[in-house]
Amino acid sequence: MAPESGLSRRGLLGGGALALGAGLAGAGLGWGAGSATASSDAVAIGGERVPFFGPHQAGITTDPQSFATFVGLDLRAGSDRESLTRILRLWTEDAGRLTQGRPALADREPELADAPWRLTVTVGLGPGAFVGLADKRPEWLRPLPAFPIDAFDVRWPGTDLVLQVCADDPMAAAHAVRVLTKNVCSMAALTWVQRGFRGTRPAGVTMRNLMGQVDGTVQPAPIDHDALVWDDGAAQPWLKGGTSLVLRRIRMEMDTWDEVDTPLRNLVLGREQTSGAPLTGSAERDAPDFTATDANGIIVIPPASHIARAHRRTDREQFLRRAYNYDDPPPPGETSDTGLLFATYQQDVDAQFLPVQQRLAEQDALNEWTTPVGSAVYVILPGAQPGGYLGQSLLED
């Protein structure tokens, strides 16, 4: 039982609250005049907002925020199109407010809403959400094939729904996750929560992962970007402006990675750990030369290195990588539970992502120190228009 507090509930509801207010005011901490300064400071810090409405959902091409929480939910038994509609309407309403620094409807902690810290809420559907909508399900929306490198943990399955909540401060993300999940809990149950971080960096500086590598350098060129990321509605007209998310939870084997010296680490990746430059260049953004040889005729970037294997073989084999690090409490007896929430966005999982993943599963020097422990594929809904809701084109056309 909690220790008895000196302030009883009855005392606070009676004269106690007034006395407490007066006491704090006397100490220069009062509610009233002083609080205006406190709250305007709070808005100035963390007040930056990312628009919620538009042709695409935010949180994909948004410059990655420092923190992300991915939440996987499953629809409750007996769910139908109507319950899915209710969930998506609620999420649109709540996310439309929270991302703009306004409390959600029936927000019990409205004080936490005024500093959104570039909060974005991105909503996706797994294969199981297409109940009664089978003809609208994109061809590629199914679990990835099993790969020999996979060692899945039952804690991280694919789910019917996913929320990706990103912000530059964990408070903003935590409040949004709480509001969004509790408001739909009669219709969808929470299956997992995966939290990640990128570290605070100046704009335009690529993040590092917890293996120490500069991670996220090579991305689809801006010129091809739209065609590679956003759906054009050709196969499923309702999906125009949407995309797909592949979320792989990939554990890093930190104890054995510790034993690898820097020169070998560089060969495993095909880039220098310190600068992020390809082994054939001197700066991070230099294009790797996969055919260059040294004085002895040996290929400089080993063909089995991660970047040599991952590099596109065709223009179509490209996708947007927006990974987050995770570092959870280790299980008893182990030293770490560390890795990547490896998130990619592409128009077509089968055409763009799968060939690269297949090639890496066949051979990639990095595989010795990384293990996929979870995997899920989602369709990311097109953006919502003001007055409309996420998923409207799927559910109403």
For the CB of residue 252, give the shortest distance to ligand HEM in the complex, in Å: 6
For the CB of residue 360, give the shortest distance to ligand HEM in the complex, in Å: 5
Which of 72/339 has CB closer to ligand HEM? Answer: 339
Which of 161/365 has CB closer to ligand HEM? Answer: 365
Which of 166/228 has CB closer to ligand HEM? Answer: 228
End-to-end CA distance of the chain: 55
Strands 243-252 and 320-321: unpaired
For the CB of residue 132, give the shortest distance to ligand HEM in the complex, in Å: 32
Which of 340/376 has CB closer to ligand HEM? Answer: 340
Tokens of 290: 């996969």
Instruction: For residue 161, give the amino acid letter.
Output: L
For the CB of residue 366, give the shortest distance to ligand HEM in the complex, in Å: 6
For the CB of residue 322, give the shortest distance to ligand HEM in the complex, in Å: 11
For the CB of residue 195, give the shortest distance to ligand HEM in the complex, in Å: 17
Which of 183/344 has CB closer to ligand HEM? Answer: 344
Nearest-angstrom CA–CA distance, 252 and 257? 8
Tokens of 366: 């990095």
Which of 92/325 has CB closer to ligand HEM? Answer: 325
For the CB of residue 41, give the shortest distance to ligand HEM in the complex, in Å: 37
Give me the residues that bind ligand HEM (CB under 6 A), please.
209, 211, 213-218, 248, 250, 252, 269, 271, 288, 306-307, 310-311, 339-340, 342, 356-357, 360, 370
If we measure between CA atoms, which residue out of 86, 67, 64 comes closest to residue 75?
Answer: 86
For the CB of residue 172, give the shortest distance to ligand HEM in the complex, in Å: 27
- The burial of 209, by beta-carbon neighbours within 10 Å (0-12 exposed, 13-18 middle, 19 or more buried), is given as buried
> Which residues touch 226 (CB under 8 Å, ≥6 apart)?
none
- Is the Cβ–Cβ distance between 337 and 249 less than 8 Å? no
Which of 136/311 has CB closer to ligand HEM? Answer: 311
For the CB of residue 164, give the shortest distance to ligand HEM in the complex, in Å: 18
- Rg (C-alpha) for the chain, rounded Å, is 24
Which of 116/270 has CB closer to ligand HEM? Answer: 270
For the CB of residue 339, give the shortest distance to ligand HEM in the complex, in Å: 6
Tokens of 196: 């990640």
Which of 141/277 has CB closer to ligand HEM? Answer: 277
For the CB of residue 146, give the shortest distance to ligand HEM in the complex, in Å: 15
Which of 238/342 has CB closer to ligand HEM? Answer: 342
Q: Which residues pair with 75 in a beta bridge?
A: 188
Which of 161/228 has CB closer to ligand HEM? Answer: 228
Distance set, CA 287 to CA 61, 297, 307, 311 (Å): 22, 20, 11, 11
